[in-house]
Amino acid sequence: MIASAGLRAASFLLVARFAALLVLAVTVGLSAPAQAQRMGIVATVNNVPISEYDLHARLKLVIAISGLPATRETAQQLAPKIVDTLIDEELKRQEAKNLGIEITDKAVETAVQRFEKARGMPANGMLNLLESLGLSKDVLYQQIRADLAWNDALRLRFRALTQIADEEVDEEIARLEAEKGKPVALLSEIFLPVDEQPKNEEVRAVAERILGELKGGTPFQAMATTFSQSPTAAVGGDLGWISLNSLAPEVSRALSSVKTGDFSPPIRTAAGWVIYWLRDQRVSQGAAGPTVDPNIVLQQLMIPVSDTGPASELEGKRDLTKRLRLRADNCATMAAMPKTVAGGLTSDTLRLRTSQLSPLVRDAIKDLPDGKPSEVIKVPGAFMLFMVCERISENAQAQLRAQVRNRLVNDRLDLAARQFLRDLRRNAFIERR
């Protein structure tokens, strides 16, 4: 059960107190230990405390990744939502512990590396970001460890849901074929759940703030990765090509007035609030259409640059990247550049599916011939070049069936996860202070 006496007043005091702490930390630059000593407890979950420092550290990281301004207004709008997220993470950790699930540091580090590669960040980009914010890696590791443990817990508890019969795959492929010739949209989403009706307006306000930041130029992928509670958050909110006929009526109505390239207003669905980015529209090619997800060998070159340094340094690194682009006539040449060019360059060869790339990188290589460098791409802390070394041909039908099967499993687990987490909240003793 959730302690409710004085909840609104407690929430207001929490936000006001934290807003002041945020401004103090930003303007004075308190060290992590000093901040921890000055802060108390914001909530307990089955008698396990969540500290004001936990809240402060997470909000500081969220603001840095999303590009939101570090202001009192930002703190007031985001603090309650982040407290909810920290409570959910603690519930996930406790459930995983009850099932005997442990996540190793190696698994967490691998997950961080996947995140960096998908976002086009340089190696150790997240750790460098944490260091620049004065935060320990535990701030990030605790979040990722909770998510990994939760995924394992879901697969253990709902093992039966991961068994998809061949007939179910056949039915889904037939449904996709029936959509051939009908309109489909390339969509990305930011989903914010509403599990308790009293929180509806609070979540809507966060959605409106996110939309405002998107219209102001903040990258959609960064906001989705930071705020979305959908499994697609791991790939920057990318939903892929979706049949407009398969969407909920309220979503279809809202998207009907959205132009390609624009964002939808926050849409209230049965599960919460969602913002869509309508990236493209086309006519469906059926089951064998744009859903195919090829395997590629990708060479990436990272030229580090300080985002807070002089403008002349930024332009100098941009010019260097352009010159290197002209010299990159094949993957071997690009891979060897860090050995011949000063400036801390790094080059990596990746083998992955295009769905594992961030939309920014995926769009950059979509029509790129093999062995040709991409345009220069700016990411936090670096300029990047990409080159497709090889597109690996596969059995398209087998790949399609595997893709459909995985999507069906993920859809089932997503629904089960929301219901199960709701049950954990109801059965837990959660006190907000």
pLDDT per residue as tens digits for the range 318-375: 999 999 999 999 999 999 999 888 888 888 888 887 777 877 888 888 888 999 999 9
Mean pLDDT of the chain: 82
Q: Are 187 and 277 in contact (CB under 8 A)?
A: yes
Domain residue ranges in the chain = 1-179+394-433, 181-284, 295-392
Could you tell me how many residues make up the chain?
A: 433
- pTM beyond 0.75: the answer is no
Distance of alpha carbon 414 from alpha carbon 267, whole angstroms: 19
pLDDT per residue as tens digits for the range 136-164: 888 889 989 998 999 899 888 888 888 89
What does the angle CA 120 – CA 123 – CA 125 come to, to the nearest 5 degrees? 75
Could you tell me which CATH class the domain 1-179+394-433 is placed in?
A: mainly alpha
Fold of the domain spanning 181-284: Chitinase A; domain 3 (3.10.50)
* Residue 10 confidence (pLDDT): 36
Using alpha carbons, select from 85, 263, 97, 82 the residue that is nearest to residue 190. Answer: 263
pLDDT > 90: percent of the chain: 30
Q: Does position 433 have pLDDT exceeding 70, yes or no?
A: yes
Structure tokens at 100: 């005997």
Q: Does position 268 have pLDDT exceeding 80, yes or no?
A: yes
How would you class 338 by CB atoms within 10 Å of its CB: exposed for 0-12, middle for 13-18, buried for 19 or more?
middle
Distance of alpha carbon 107 from alpha carbon 114, whole angstroms: 11
Confidence of residue 394 (pLDDT cuts 50, 70, 90): low
* CATH among 3.40.50.720, 3.10.50.40, 3.90.1150.10, 3.20.20.100 for 295-392: 3.10.50.40
Q: Does position 291 have pLDDT exceeding 60, yes or no?
A: no
* Residue 182 confidence (pLDDT): 85
| Phi-psi sector, 133: left (phi>0), alpha (psi -120 to 50), beta | alpha
* Residue 22 confidence (pLDDT): 43
pLDDT per residue as tens digits for the range 94-106: 999 999 999 999 9
Asked if the domains at 1-179+394-433 and 295-392 fall in one CATH topology, the answer is no
- Find the mean pLDDT for residues 260-266: 94
